[in-house]
Amino acid sequence: MRSLPEALPEIARLEDLAALDLSFNLLDDLPADLGRLHRLTELRLDSNQFSRFPDAVLGLTGLQVLSLYRNGLSNVPSGLGGLREIRVLNLAGNRLSSVPAEIGALSRLHTLDLGHNELTDIPPSLGDVTGLSRYLYLSDNKITSVPDSLCRLGHLRYLNITDNRLTALPERFGDLASLRELRLYHNRLTGLPRSIGALRELREAHLMGNRLTGLPEEIGGLADLRELRLMDNRVTALPDTIGGLVRLTRLDLRNNELRAVPDAIGRLDRLTHLDLRNNRLHELPPTLAALPRLEKLDLRWNPLALDPLPAWVSSLEQRGCVVLT
């Protein structure tokens, strides 16, 4: 469909209509009558041709789910703040360079997707949406910094700010105490704040493709971390506190500048995959042989002296661990 009739008496009489999906059409506007559907709680307008936010939507004050994914929106009106019942808001895949401060009024919002736009910053008022608990997607924008106010989202479980231009994180980043999954890959981060060790519920940290040269000692406080992906950085050394990551199963350090691995890595009893490809390692600690669940150890493209193989390498292989040299 390229358009809807100006008057929609049939739809307007559907007073109990709860969900309307007009996705995958060629619509660029909505008739004003649509705003009379006051019991509508879900409206999906994905993959259409809206270049401006449809005014009719602002009258649907009962909306709980609003999705305008993959349109041509260049701005969002301040009236968005009047949709106080919104729980899920998807504005990804548009041409947005900014988001109005009124987004901070959406107190019931728990899922927000602003990915794949042209945002250069995050509105500080987003920190007022303290109910934001499930997902916050900001991937693939032009964001250079994270405001301190965002650290007030203490109930947020999933944060994605990948493929942006971040150079640093707020020192209060550890206040995001409920985070379980953190994705910050493909940015320009050179370091991590010490407070990151306060993310006690974090299970996955995806930090590849940055400019990290090391990790703070406080990283050892992430006792529930299962995956730590640090490939394609500039890490030269690991702190001994990495031995505190007692639930870690996957550790990816390929394409870094490591010259040594601390003995403490032998305390990671649940580690199954360790990738050390393409570093500057001349030797490794025998404590690696103490890792009871290690299934794969990748040592390729390092200046290691492994001819003949050390006894601890042979012991790993004998129990079934794949050791690639």
- What confidence tens digit (pLDDT) does each residue in 80-93 have? 999 999 999 999 99
Q: Cα–Cα distance between 236 and 216 in angstroms, integer?
A: 12
In this structure, are residues 129 and 152 in contact, taking their beta carbons and an 8 Å threshold?
Answer: no
What tens digit of pLDDT does each residue of 28-42 get? 999 888 888 989 999
In percent, how much of the chain has pLDDT > 90? Answer: 90
What is the bridge-based pairing of β-strands 19-21 and 296-298?
unpaired
pTM of the predicted structure, to 2 decimals: 0.96
Q: Give the long-range contacts of residues 120-123, CB within 8 A, separation 24 or more.
A: 120/144, 121/145, 121/147, 122/146, 122/147, 122/150, 123/98, 123/99, 123/147
Could you tell me the pLDDT band of residue 6, with boundaries at 50, 70 and 90?
A: low
Could you tell me the pLDDT band of residue 56, with boundaries at 50, 70 and 90?
A: very high
Residue 307 has pLDDT above 90, yes or no: no
Residue 309 has pLDDT above 90, yes or no: no
